[in-house]
Chain A
Amino acid sequence: MTRPVYSRLLRAGLVLGAFTLCFGVVAGARAQTELLNVSYDPTRELYREINAAFIAEWNAKNPDKKISTIRQSHGGSGAQARTVIDGLNADVVTLALAGDIDAVAERSKKLPLDWQKRLPHNSSPYTSTIVFLVRKGNPKAIKDWGDLVKPGVQIITPNPKTSGGARWNYLAAWAYAEKAFNKDEAKVRDYIGKLLANVPVLDTGARGATTTFTQRGIGDVFLSWENEAFLALKEFGADKFDIVVPSLSILAEPPVALVDANVDAKKTREQAQAYLDFLYTPKGQAIIARNFYRPRNPEAADSKDVANFPKVELVTIDDVFGGWKKAQPTHFGDGGTFDQLYKPAR
């Protein structure tokens, strides 16, 4: 008896649903003159400053092609690459390591495989390295990589599967161990296994790991991007933490790239290209140094900012690991050394 009501209601529901979808699709597809920079975790403060400076400069020079906003999305580098592969409409990707942009190029085919040759310095306008952040006074006396595997030392590092910084951490530790143990693979693996056993929790991104260490007070030493360590000192005061520079570390080159298919679809190639080029200008390099990234062109930066960076022996991924194309599958791919050596605490 009440069947007609039910079916009409259902029909009304379907119509409303279809309407909702259409409305949403239209709203989502509305064109806007803005760029989207999909980046990794610690660059939030850097790109906030870069974006403001670039928009001011570009809009003054190109009053007919003004950029209204540069949108930012941040997260673990690997996770961010994944969302771009899944269709996040990035004009540029500025990730923690070349391997993640390689993954975007291979899987989405939205940029050429040789993207890294398109901009100077391996497409990395800034570099960084891995240092140790410890609690004030360094109560556990952590001086170098060798001290990390002492029993009772709690290490904070994010998950190398999702975080770019964590992959640099892992490779820096590996490079140290290769040198310390004269490339004796069994000893290197033993060292890395012990190091991972001292990690109580793996956050997905560098920033999550930073808050775990600084705000939640977990762990004795935080393997950190140099820029992230400086930022923590700035945010929480130099009386809470010390930076320890190990005897050897890795030259981290976080690269940037244009996502060709996206900028062509959105007709933003010119602006996006200029945005990336801006990073290499003296003004861009000065902002980079001010935000604790090592500039490629130190002369352009404030000498006080440059003096902050400690001297440390840096190895490169190409020298020790034969580049990301080789290091990624060997160490972080499914069944790679990380999978073999990491045994989550029970």
Chain B
Amino acid sequence: MSDATLSSAAATAPARSPSRARGESPVVQFVLIAVSLAFLLLFLLLPLVTVFIEAAAKGWEAYRAAITEPDALAAIRLTLLVAAIAVPFNIVVGIAAAWAVAKFEFPGKNLLISLIDLPFSVSPVISGLVFVLLFGAQGYLGPWLQANDLKIVFALPGLILATVFVTFPFVARELIPHMQSLGSSDEEAALTLGASPWRVFFSVTLPNVKWSLFYGVLLCNARAMGEFGAVAVVSGKIRGLTNTMPLHIEILYNEYMGAAAFAVASLLAGLALVTLVLKTLLEWHYGDVIAASRRH
């Protein structure tokens, strides 16, 4: 949510002329800027700084020990693995869905758009619980899975499913408006010139949308690594086995190991910072393209 507000604020920032045209007095401008800056400092920057201060509270050695401890390493590895599977999956399916919505007219299109947004409107806890209901031992498919010795919930597949579910909208949501605004004339031209459908996709469509795709992937990845609620429900919280980084942070904190918890948290926060920097760079260089893609 805050991501969306933040980036749209940032996207409109360079376009100063409209506000002048509306003739708002400099005082109003100043107050608005001051208020939003103060808010950002207080509610976003301050907590982030606290994470790093707390992480460093017991010194470098303790920090290093906290993030190289076997359970922490297992959590980091698991988080990366889940993201490495969930994000590519969502890229492929997200492109497919965006394509379908942007380039074709078909019955049920509005339903599809609403379905894409569904994970945003459903609480992550529920996203996790549905998988327990489906695949849990008491669930609909539970007995069959058990009879065949297959594990979904409380194991890696459950973590991936929950992450895929929660992060699905990011790629499609970024691509749809952009693809819609581009229309299909470029593709049609390429086809009439005799290009194969694959060639059209890789040489025309993909380059056209690459920045909004990249943007969507960034957001998708950040959420995939940071997801807590849905993952907590399907994880079973087995240390060193099904504990992702966010879950590991909570466990450490609950074991009175605050410095260690914040050390691992600082890694996640570091990831968020990298995402933020990349995003800012993108907006700086390709602000027009992304702004265009945001005209809903």
Which positions in A face B, CB cutoff 8 Å?
A: 1-6, 8-10, 12-13, 16-17, 20-21, 23-25, 27-29, 36, 41, 44-45, 69, 71-75, 83, 85-89, 107-108, 207-208, 211, 215, 235, 265
Contacts and interface: CB of A to CB of B under 8 A. Distances in A.
Contact of A24 (B154, B156, B197): B156
Contact of A72 (B137, B157, B238): B238
Q: How large is the interface on B (under 10, 10 to 19, 20 to 34, 35 or more residues)?
A: 35 or more
Contacts of A75: 237
A34 to B, nearest CB: 9
Interface string B134-150: 01111100100010011
A29 B151 contact: yes
Contacts of A45: 255
B14 to A, nearest CB: 34
Interface in B91-142: 92-93, 95-96, 99-100, 103-104, 132, 135-139, 142
B85 interface: yes
Given A9-B95, A73-B238, A73-B239, A107 B138 contact: yes
19 contacts: A1-B187, A2-B191, A3-B104, A6-B96, A13-B89, A13-B93, A16-B89, A20-B89, A29-B149, A36-B238, A71-B240, A72-B239, A73-B237, A86-B139, A87-B153, A88-B154, A88-B236, A89-B151, A207-B254
B151 A69 contact: no
B184 interface: yes
Contact of B89 (A5, A17, A211): A17
B160 interface: yes
B118 to A, nearest CB: 18
Contacts of B237: 73-75
B184 A28 contact: no
Nearest to B233: A83
Contacts of B251: 74
Nearest to B85: A20
Q: Main SS of chain A's interface residues?
A: helix
Nearest to B232: A75
Contacts of B132: 86
Contacts of A1: 187-188, 191
Contact of B236 (A21, A25, A73, A265): A73
B198 A5 contact: yes
Interface in B267-295: none
B157 A87 contact: no
Interface in B148-198: 149-157, 160, 184, 187-188, 191, 197-198
A259 B99 CA distance: 50
B146 A25 contact: no
Contact of B104 (A6, A16, A89): A6
Contacts of B136: 86-87
Contact of A25 (B92, B137, B157, B256): B157
A73 B242 CA distance: 10
Interface string B242-256: 000000000101111
Interface of B: 85, 88-89, 92-93, 95-96, 99-100, 103-104, 132, 135-139, 142, 146, 149-157, 160, 184, 187-188, 191, 197-198, 200-201, 236-241, 251, 253-256, 258
Contacts of B241: 71
B137 A85 contact: yes
A333 B256 CA distance: 33
Contacts of A13: 89, 92-93, 96
A215 B256 CA distance: 9
A21 B240 CA distance: 21
A183 B137 CA distance: 43
Contacts of B92: 9, 12-13, 16
A83 B154 contact: yes
Nearest to A12: B92
A23 B92 CA distance: 18
Given A9-B92, A44-B255, A2 B197 contact: yes
A211 B136 CA distance: 31
B150 A25 contact: yes
Given A5-B201, A25-B150, 10 more contacts: A9-B201, A16-B92, A17-B93, A20-B89, A45-B255, A71-B240, A72-B239, A74-B237, A87-B151, A88-B238
Contacts of B100: 6
A174 to B, nearest CB: 28
Contacts of A89: 151, 154
Nearest to A261: B146
Nearest to A69: B240
Output the residue of B132, B156, B254 with the most chain A CB within 10 A: B254
Given A5-B200, A6-B100, A17-B89, A86 B137 contact: yes
Contact of A10 (B96, B153, B198, B256): B96
Contacts of A71: 238-241
Given A9-B96, A87-B136, A211 B253 contact: yes
B240 A25 contact: no
Nearest to B146: A87
A218 to B, nearest CB: 16
Contacts of A17: 89, 93
B236 A83 contact: yes
